[in-house]
Amino acid sequence: MLGPYRVLDCTGPLGWLTGRLLADLGADVIKIEPPGARLDDPGWRANNVNKRLLTLDLGDEAGRDAFRRLARDTDFLLESAAPGSAAAGLFDPDILIAANPKLIHVSVTPFGRTGPHAEWLASDLEMMAAGGAMSLAGEPGGLPVRVSVAQSYGWAGAQAALGAMMALTHRAATGRGQHVDVSAQAAVIASVAHAPASWDLLGIDSTRAGAFMTGRSVHGANYRVFWPCKDGYLNFIIYGGFAGQRTNASLVSWMTEAKAELGVLAEIDWGRFDPTQATQAEVDAIEDPIGRFFLTLTKAEFLDGAFDREMLGYPVFNVADIAADPQLEARGYWQDLPGPGGRAERFCGGVAIVDGKRLALVRPVPSAGEHSREVLGEMGFDSAEIDGLIAAGAVGVPSTLEDK
Amino acid sequence: MSGVPQALEGVTVVEFGGYAAGPWIGKVLANYGAKVVHVESRDRPDGFRLQYPPYKDGKVGVNRSGCFSYFNDSKYAVTLDVKKPGGVELARRLTDWCDIVIENMRPGVMARIGLGYEVLKETNPDIIWLSSCNMGQTGPRAPTGGFGSQLSALAGFTGLTGEAGGPPMLLYGPYIDFVAALVSAPALLAALDKRKRTGEGAYFDVSQYECGLSFIAGALFDYHANGRIAERAGNDDAVAAPHGAYRCRDEGWLAVSCWSDDEFARLASAVGRPEWADDPRFASAAERRANIAALDEGIEAWSAPRDAAEAAVALQDARVHAYRVNTMADLFSDPQLGHRRTWRVRRHGEIDDQAYYFPGFDLSETPGDIPGPAPLLGGDNAIVFREFLGLTEEEYDTHVANGVI
């Protein structure tokens, strides 16, 4: 879909996903890294597959000149230079767009390029704290915890890709590029769902809920969300409503088939059960036999059993469980490409199946300097110029670089 | 609606479905100028209208849900009953009119009511269509229906959140729905661009589960390449130490991390413990991690009597990574978010003033906005059916009389 477009990707972790999403949509994404950059980080490899690699030292004046020339002949520039840094000076949107009026310049930074905190230091931890996500994860009243592995990169990177595509839509209509200024902090707010609305409308400051669902019962009863099972945890909740009633009834018939002890469950008419009216003692009595039944199941058994019975609920998967999930296999999700030493590397596939075909990964992870000559040649540098840049150390090619 | 030129001017979108995964895409497109029509029926309004708080003044009502409103600002809403005679035909006039259809029903539901992609494509051949559901349209578990809040567990997020040795932690709301919306939305606009060049539309089969995995792609790669299974580890980090949250005054918390020995020395001075910089127990990140309890205690002794926002300023002044752990209330007073105008108040028909979220990216030439509040149920029937679709007064009245509109 984006076949006609060239992307220069100078980002760090905050923008890796942006380039990956555009590459998966067909753009020619050229990742720029300095000589000696570490290319073995799992996050780097996972998000920089499907791109070409130009090894170019932007700290070197000859390298900067070469970059300015490349930027005049490109459709998108992605960068995540810290505002106020020397690199941010190179990535000045006013100057770059003046030289190339069709350029779509995307800056992905923790707080955006301007504002009182623009130059503040932030890693994923601070970005997730600043965007509100951390205050909603952890035990009630206890330590706020980070959400999973680094997530701010995803939130910022995805919104940056969307902003880039909006700018492209405008460019297609007018011929003009523009600057897209992404704030990871503001992007992370998308992850907290409608919690801000409770503060805005009712003055209720929603907070972290631990492993239990709170606030559903008028008697203040808490419902368990995470249940230990044979090999980990399950996510299951006693819901009301149509789907909840069906789920609860299906669970009881499953327990009956399995000859599990039912306790109070044998007596409950789920059609009349209303979770908003239950007391903690009633909830505990319901959850006790369920908890003992779940201890007899593996995550995989629960997943299959719940699916067969059209029940709500999923196991808490880890990466190994996800890797073995037949659903992903059946949809051709995993993409295998050759890696270092001839060993295959496995990647998450493109985010959609388009007209029956998975968005494809066509390029393995590039190695240092792999496409330097090719890219510079395509973009109008003659071989004497390229050799000069290599001799000056501004450009790296495989023969001058140790492949890490 | 605002008079400033917007990036998606002239782009038309129709949404079938509800809750977050589909409507969140339309909301963001509407914020940058697309004309987005949210389709519901009187019998089955969007589930967020009646199933989740907050409600204006705590009173339940189809037009009082702040949850629905928060996810649907800047759109038009119509009520259309496809089960009534002429209902499907009217829905098809809508899908013939638009560039993009977004639906997040269970697989097969749209086809069953006569609004499947193959059928609609006959009369709108270059339509761009996105179907989003838990598992995708194909595969052995395709028929799964479910909530994003639970799907976030299957996709690894909750298992990676929480203290080592403790249970997984809940994430607020349907976390993965927003991931899926944001990683798939760029594809819609890429398809629009391709359509301008080729005249071809596209059908996107989006699995929210798969989309979610793109946010833990590094951990999945690490497993496939190295066999390492990532586990939840509280706030610990493999590189930085310290790396955590510290109690402040008034139940506030401060996030702090140190990424080098120099930064640690600056932190030590800033919290009044300059001697730490020369203490062999803290000489490297590995040693600091091994002796983290002493550091945590010392940092918290400094932070506990301080206001979290002021503590963050003090550490940032010393060039140390730090930020207040913003609560939902804090998001509304954060000076940086204020600078970006992240919250934009619009007057809703029944809720009155509500603050809507403006996405995390500003465009320099076509800035985007919150052009309007969320719509009332069926509140835009006349403008959408009469003006956008061009129904005559008689046609419109007939549909109303038949209970279609």
pLDDT tens digits, residue range B75-120? 999 999 999 999 999 999 999 999 999 999 999 999 999 999 999 9
Nearest CA in chain A to B224: A346
B243-331: CATH topology is formyl-coa transferase, domain 3 (3.30.1540)
Whether A165 has a pLDDT exceeding 60, the answer reads: yes
Amino acid in the structure at residue A179: H
A379 to chain B, minimum CA–CA distance in Å?
A: 24
Identify which of A156, A166, A207 has the shortest CB distance to residue B189.
Answer: A166
Provide the 10 A C-beta neighbour count for residue A102.
13
Interface size, chain A vs chain B, as Cβ–Cβ contacts under 8 Å: 493
Query: What mean pLDDT, rounded, does chain B reach?
Result: 96
Residue A402: predicted pLDDT: 63
Pick from A145, A185, A235: which is nearest to B153 by CB? A235
Over the stretch A153-162, which tens digit does the pLDDT of each residue have? 999 999 999 9
Kindly report, residue by residue over B215-271, the tens digit of the pLDDT. 999 999 999 999 999 999 999 999 999 999 999 999 999 999 999 999 999 999 999
Of A26-30, A270-274, B103-107, B370-374, where does mean pLDDT reach its minimum?
A270-274
Residue B215 touches chain A, beta carbons under 8 Å: yes
Domain map (residue ranges) of chain B: 12-215+341-401, 243-331
Q: Looking at the complex, does the CB of residue B340 fall below 8 Å from at least one CB of chain A?
A: yes
> If pLDDT is split at 50, 70 and 90, which confidence band does A222 have?
confident
Contact A130 B217 (CB under 8 A): no
User: A92-139: per-residue pLDDT in tens?
Assistant: 999 999 999 999 999 999 999 999 999 999 999 999 999 999 999 999
Chain A residue numbers with beta carbons less than 8 Å from the beta carbon of B7 are 166-167, 169-170
- pLDDT bin (cut points 50, 70, 90) of residue B383 is very high
Flag whether residue A102 sits within 8 Å of chain B, measured between CB atoms.
Answer: no
**Percentage of residues of chain A with pLDDT beyond 90:** 90
**Is the Cβ pair B245, A134 closer than 8 Å?**
yes
Q: Does A359 reach chain B within 8 Å, measured CB to CB?
A: yes
- Give the pLDDT band (50/70/90) at residue A239: confident
Among A132, A326, A331, the residue with its CB nearest the CB of B328 is A132
Phi/psi for B399 (5° steps) reads -60, -40
Cross-strand pairs, B103: B16, B131
CB A109 within 8 A of CB A41: no
Confidence tier at A403 by pLDDT (50, 70, 90)? very low
**What mean pLDDT comes out for the span A33-54?**
97
Annotate A308-353 with three-state secondary structure.
HCCCCCEECCCHHHHHCCHHHHHCCCCEEEECHHHCEEEECCCCCE
Q: Mean pLDDT, to the nearest integer, of A283-309?
A: 96
What is the set of domains in chain A, with CATH numbers? 6-190+329-400 (3.40.50.10540), 212-316 (3.30.1540)
B33 → chain A, closest CA residue: A166
Distance CA A27, CA A7 (A): 7
pLDDT of B1 above 70: no
Which DSSP category does B241 fall into? S
Tell me which residue in B146, B214, B320 faces A312 most closely, judged by beta carbons.
B146
Q: Contact A198/B328, CB-based, under 8 Å? A: yes
Is 0.95 topped by the overall pTM?
Answer: yes
Q: CB distance from B53 to chain A under 8 Å?
A: yes
- pLDDT category at A200 given cuts 50, 70, 90 is very high
Q: Could you give the C-alpha distances from A370 to A33, A338, A397, B46, in angstroms and in order?
A: 11, 14, 6, 51
Average pLDDT of the residues of chain A: 95
Tokens representing A278?
Answer: 């239950």
Could you say which of B194, B223, B321 has the minimum Cβ distance to residue A126? B321
Asked if A364 reaches chain B (Cβ–Cβ under 8 Å), the answer is: no
In chain A, residues with a C-beta closer than 8 Å to the C-beta of B170 are: 137, 208-213, 225-226
Residue in B with minimal Cα distance to A154 = B215
How far apart, in Å, are the Cα atoms of B112 and each of A401, B100, B144, B265?
59, 20, 16, 65
Domain B12-215+341-401 CATH (choose: 3.50.50.60, 3.40.50.10540, 3.30.70.3000, 3.40.50.300): 3.40.50.10540
Task: Give residue A278's pLDDT.
Answer: 87
